[in-house]
Structure 1
């Protein structure tokens, strides 16, 4: 029995227990009512009382079943608002674009096998400005739900990592998305970084802005250089929003998006270039996570109803609901962050693909698997060459290319 079958089994048992408890409560209340009636209305027929008791109990049980059905239908309604796509849909688009990819050549290396207690979901932030068919994967992350360690982990993958793209050729990591969409990007990460990924979720720039605005903005701390840079460039696309200041403030969707795209100014942790940019992305996603935690259930339902149409995924409705239930069951209020490649595990190089990062895959993949599937050893988190970095930017990661 898989973990998700176990979750469903536990849910069924919980509903049965609730139903049994409700039945006992109804019976007790009815017994009390009947005892009172017997003292004041001794002329009532006992059979009539028994029939009335069964009728009331049956009515309440029917209402209870109806409530369960309403919850199930509501969940189904929400899931139907998400955009679903299959691998065959994406492959058809690739064939139409005339890109030659051997989709069967996808198992060149072994990957970590599927683990019922660990779920890895690829998060794709798509930059779709000049290309109306498929844009670039501006943000590449993996969200991990680990039921054994009770952790939620967000891992950034540097888009300039030089990788073997299955069935295609060597190139930058984000090239795999441009030529083969979510399925090929997922497969490329699996093959090069040796982790199993259960599916992907994709949002574009418009969706990102909407998500932040629906939450009422996010709290972000800007340096003086970041604020001045954002106010004088078009990273914040709406000129009316180019009024950010140094320090902690609430950024709206347009401002937060601009912040996550900045590369030419040092980040709050001193990093530069794409390293600073990916750290900003993790900072914003962590701020979104914090904002969600502050919302009430009713408000979250309304927000979810508005946001789901902006999401595209290849994960089934059943699996999505299972993953959400698992996240809730963890009870964690913290989001851990990680970055690939880590400090001192790459070097910069220029080749036919442009400026790339040549990754020390044996070292990186071992640390990545320890982080996602287990516990990172003390030696990888306490020295000056720390593999992990936090959403607040306190890391040992070097900037630029070594």
Structure 2
């Protein structure tokens, strides 16, 4: 073999040696990309299957036993208009097979796709309002009387909003959500203690003041506590503050990676009319949006304590003014937090759930 041929062979061998590290790197990157795609597909498929189960009736959730009035079925969301979701928290203690679900807490999550702003409205459950087909009743009776469709119609009429969706869960569903996201780092503003022997002390409340990591059980205690001067008024404020903190954590990168596990853990305790495609679209929109404000409805200066028969109710002074108040609140707040109207026309500031002092 001539020296020229040997030189060419050596040169080719050297080129191959130089290419091999790049080849290994390329193969490694391809394997990594494939693993990421498989993981993403696994997460997406698992999440989709779990979401698909949310609108299926469940034996352990009494809300599924209603005969729905299809004439009250809400309008479908077109993806561009404001979307409103009625969040119903149920207290199923003592509810027997075949009984109707009760809504212990009611909140409306309102999201504007155009402005990417989210508002959270707490509806006072004792508000005395018209319920179609049943006359004037407490707002929280609508769910038990006619199911989710009637509840959405009733609260929508009260607030002047089209409510397209509902999500119902009970105590155990709420606890599962908090535990699934690893708890919530939150500031408890006061010592809270309450003993309830009626349920075998399963849901007693015993929280200490201060910044702390709340697990599911502790978070449930926090949002249920109402044994202070303003009772249900401060409880609804606590619920909004904690839910805002939950929303922030759900938008984090860690939570997004765990979405399959999170969704699967809460699915047995959730009932909703949301389709998986709607949920994924709303999740995408929610990640792009920010909390613009939260408020109590009706505000304090529009209600009065009255008695109807043996019931203590909250009478609304002017239904039209309430709807005007809601419309203005949803369009006027640009960022940060909103303030609730106080009983004297002043305000009750909404805190962020973070410690503001010793």
TM-score, scaled relative to structure 2? 0.72
Matches within 5 A, 1:226-305: 226-227=191-192, 229-230=193-194, 232=195, 244-266=207-229, 272-294=230-252, 296=254, 297-305=256-264
Match of 1:207 in 2: 173
Q: Could you say if the C-alpha distance between residues 240 and 122 of structure 1 is closer, same or farther in structure 2, counting changes exceeding 3 Å?
A: closer
Match of 1:82 among 30, 54, 66: 54
1:341 and 2:301 aligned: no
Q: Is the 8 A contact 2:50 2:260 kept in 1?
A: no
Q: Could you say if the C-alpha distance between residues 275 and 235 of structure 1 is closer, same or farther in structure 2, counting changes exceeding 3 Å?
A: farther
Structure 1 gap ranges (5+): 1-38, 42-62, 96-100, 267-271, 394-402
List per-residue Cα deviations over 1:7-62 (Å, max 9, x = no partner): xxxxxxxxxxxxxxxxxxxxxxxxxxxxxxxx979xxxxxxxxxxxxxxxxxxxxx
Match of 2:286 in 1: 327
Match of 2:329 among 356, 363, 371: 371
Matches within 5 A, 1:16-31: none
Q: Is the 8 A contact 2:205 2:225 kept in 1?
A: no
CA drift of 1:185 comes to 0.8
Whole-angstrom CA distance in 1 between matches of 2:100 and 2:119 = 28
Q: Is the 8 A contact 1:238 1:254 kept in 2?
A: no
Match of 1:126 in 2: 90
CA RMSD of aligned residues (A): 3.9
Match of 1:195 in 2: 161
TM-score, scaled relative to structure 1? 0.65
CA drift of 1:382 comes to 10
Identify which range, 195-204 or 296-305, moves more after superposition: 296-305
Give 1 or 2: higher strand fraction: 2
CA drift of 1:143 comes to 0.7
Match of 1:163 in 2: 129
Give 1 or 2: higher helix fraction: 1
Higher RCO, 1 vs 2 (CA within 8 Å, ≥6 residues apart): 2
Structure 2 gap ranges (5+): 1-10, 14-33, 354-358
Match of 1:356 among 313, 317, 325: 313
Whole-angstrom CA distance in 1 between matches of 2:286 and 2:64 = 34
Match of 1:7 in 2: none
User: Secondary structure at the residue paired with 2:85?
Assistant: strand
Match of 2:104 in 1: 138
Q: How many residues align?
A: 310
